Amino acid sequence: MSKLEYEYWFPTVIAYSYNKLNEAYRKELVEHCYNIEKKTKPGGGNWLTQSKPYNTIDTYDPLKDEKFFDLNSWIIDSANQFNKKKVTAKESWFNIYRDNNYQEFHYHPSSYLSAIYVLEDDNGTDILFRQPYKDEIDGSINVTYKSEQGKLLLFRSYIEHAVIKKNNKNRITLAYNFIQT
């Protein structure tokens, strides 16, 4: 029997970076998110879990809010650096996780690239990514990233991701979807 030679052609890349915001600016954005929550109905109602976080999918877009301008600019620049071809931010929203909130595995259809920015998280909740191609040869692999304040994760939108249950302290993330232009 001849020996099999293996070549790996389609790796999945996840990039991360840190932007430790000026603490006064970070706190201002955190407070701004809580104020928006008080007057904006939650969005994204198509989830299976009953313990979903508050989010502003289709109800409020941080890309259109001048308070987020500096952070949005850095995230958009990072997305363009990651992709190497120009991408345009299509939409964004934020999530507020409280005790026992989590997010089941999902992906972002109709987008090319996605991003998660951790605005606030003192407990380091895990963000899981699932291998996009599952078969009997490679099996199914989950990759875990610790959620840290100031951390940005960039990944192709077809990659399924989830957030494990949040315990005790609140966690705020901003999410972005990009298209290639």
Which pLDDT tens digit goes with each residue over 156-167? 999 999 998 867
Lowest mean pLDDT among 6-10, 59-63, 82-86: 6-10
Please name which of 93, 127, 141, 109 lies closest in space to residue 16, comparing C-alpha atoms. 127
Distance CA 161, CA 131 (A): 9
The domain spans of the chain are 14-180
Residue predicted with more confidence, 101 or 175: 175
Q: Residue 139: which H helix or E strand, with range?
A: none
pLDDT over threshold 70, residue 22: yes
The 3-state DSSP class for residue 117 equals strand
Residue predicted with more confidence, 70 or 142: 70
Classify domain 14-180 at the CATH topology level. Answer: Jelly Rolls (2.60.120)
Phi, psi angles (nearest 5°) of residue 99: -50, 125
Amino acid identity at 82: F
Which pLDDT tens digit goes with each residue over 44-82? 776 666 667 899 999 999 999 999 999 999 999 999 999
Question: Token pair for residue 68?
Answer: 């987020």
Lowest mean pLDDT among 10-19, 52-61, 105-114: 10-19
pLDDT band at 5 (very low <50, low <70, confident <90, very high): confident
pLDDT over threshold 70, residue 135: no
pLDDT over threshold 70, residue 99: yes
Angle at 173 between CA 170 and CA 174, to 5 degrees: 150
pLDDT over threshold 80, residue 121: yes
